Structure 1
Amino acid sequence: MKELQDIAHMSDLLISMELGDESLFDWNVKLHQVDKDSVLWQDMKETNTEFILLNLTFPDNFPFSPPFMRVLSPRLENGYVLDGGAICMELLTPRGWSSAYTVEAVMRQFAASLVKGQGRICRKAGKSKKSFSRKEAEATFKSLVKTHEKYGWVTPPVSDG
């Protein structure tokens, strides 16, 4: 409830949210801004995309465990957004999570990682219309967490893909 009230009183319009399925544990969050010097911001302007829509599902023991967060729309490429809209960010894992994190802080970190990872709005014919799915996002997230637990959370050089 406190997180919900804090977002309602934000003055910088970075994010807005609404409850999904009328549950306090399911939020649809609109990220309205990314770095205005980024190619993603340029993409958003060129495609008249007002926001990036994310879904956050909170576990019963939140804030002691991280929410599951995924991108719903638009379809993004790079920016650490993977199949199904899964997001590759250590802070969204039990190991990287801190109960001190707020939804606003997570959104700011996500916006920064989108830009750092050179996220773009997908414009490929056919692919850009295909919706991200929750099932695909969950499977991708589980897989990436396993990989990172094995190899660590270092960011590979851009030359490595």
Structure 2
Amino acid sequence: MATLLRKIGLIRLHDRDTEDPKHHQGSLKGTKGTPKNNKHCQTANDANILSTPEIKARKLDQHGKDKEKPGKDAKEKQQQQQQQQQQTGGSGNKSTAASSVPPLAPHRHHCTQVRTRRLMKELQEIRRLGDSFITVELVEENLFDWNVKLHQVDKDSALWQDMKETSTEFILLNVTFPDNFPFSPPFMRVLTPRLENGYVLDGGAICMELLTPRGWSSAYTVEAVMRQFAASLVKGQGRICRKAGKSKKAFSRKEAEATFKSLVKTHEKYGWVSPPVSDG
């Protein structure tokens, strides 16, 4: 009997462990913590993974990029505006100032410096020598506009005799220097007295090849030009005009410029060896 009861008990135990759904449910109740723990561990693991320095840095970097987008766009826009300003020569007051007072072109500025240095040097040299051949006065303190007094010509010439008889102490000339002097010749004309012949034409224009672009050399000094002029006066048999009325008529710059332009065209056509009679 006892053996039978033990058998029945074993069968019930087996059935309870294997077939009773309630037992499975009860047994699952005891294991519910495991899934929770597993879920908690997974969450914890996710949290731990996301809290690593690499992920944090990645998050911060992404967050920073999102923040920087507007600023970056603004910076790029500002750079584009600056480039446009540089291409258009700036803006605002700078642009206005640049447009109102344009700077000298580099070549022109260089020529102005060369002209100034050259004329200062020549003027100092003439004043330093202090000889009785020529003297120079600036017209209204303008370095580029000279009045030159020619005190001497060949003493054996008729012109020198005229100067003595008329008490003419000097022949006064005006010499103006262009922007690109000494690479271009000065414009020179006689002011007083009124001369005849000697290659001095209407308005006081002077017919000398070295005063033209074709005959000019930057090596010529003002003193050398004046010596050449003094020689041409004697060679061309220049005289002081003594005719009544005509001798009192002053030379004019406008007339001299027109005459010089005309004589240059004439000599370009016929040459400078034998100038026409009308040109002196």
TM-score range (shorter-chain normalised) is over 0.9
Counterpart AA for 2:239 = R
1:117 aligns with 2:236: yes
Counterpart AA for 1:48 = S
Q: CA deviation at 1:116?
A: 0.2
Task: Give the structure-2-normalised TM-score.
Answer: 0.56
Higher fraction of helix: 2
- 1:83 is matched with which residue: 183, 202, 205? 202
Higher fraction of strand: 1
Q: CA deviation at 1:156?
A: 4.8
Indicate the percent of aligned positions where both proteins have the same amino acid.
89
Counterpart-to-counterpart distance in 2, 1:157 and 1:85: 18
The higher relative CO (CA closer than 8 Å, separation ≥ 6) is in: 1
The residue that corresponds to 2:15 in the other structure is none
Counterpart-to-counterpart distance in 1, 2:264 and 2:181: 19
Counterpart-to-counterpart distance in 1, 2:233 and 2:254: 22
The residue that corresponds to 2:193 in the other structure is 74
Q: How does 1:18-29 map to 2 (within 5 A)?
A: 18-29=137-148
Secondary structure of residue in 2 paired with 1:36: coil
Counterpart-to-counterpart distance in 2, 1:66 and 1:42: 31
**Structure 1 unaligned residues grouped into runs of 5+:** none
The residue that corresponds to 1:3 in the other structure is 122
Q: 1:42 to 1:67 in 2, by over 3 A?
A: same
Counterpart AA for 2:133 = L
The residue that corresponds to 1:43 in the other structure is 162
Tell me the alpha carbon deviations over residues 72-105 of structure 1, each in whole angstroms, 9 at most, x when there is no partner.
0000000000000000000000000000000000
- 2:174 is matched with which residue: 33, 44, 55? 55
CA contact (8 A) 2:267 2:275 kept: no
The residue that corresponds to 1:154 in the other structure is 273
Q: CA deviation at 1:9?
A: 1.7
The residue that corresponds to 1:98 in the other structure is 217
Counterpart-to-counterpart distance in 1, 2:215 and 2:229: 14
Counterpart AA for 1:94 = P
Q: CA deviation at 1:10?
A: 2.3
List structure 1 runs of 4+ shifted beyond 6 angstroms.
Answer: none
Counterpart-to-counterpart distance in 1, 2:129 and 2:270: 38
**Structure 2 unaligned residues grouped into runs of 5+:** 1-119
Counterpart AA for 2:174 = N
How many corresponding residue pairs? 160
Tell me the alpha carbon deviations over residues 2-33 of structure 1, each in whole angstroms, 9 at most, x when there is no partner.
11111112243100010012211100000000
1:137 aligns with 2:256: yes
Give the root-mean-square deviation of aligned CA atoms: 1.5
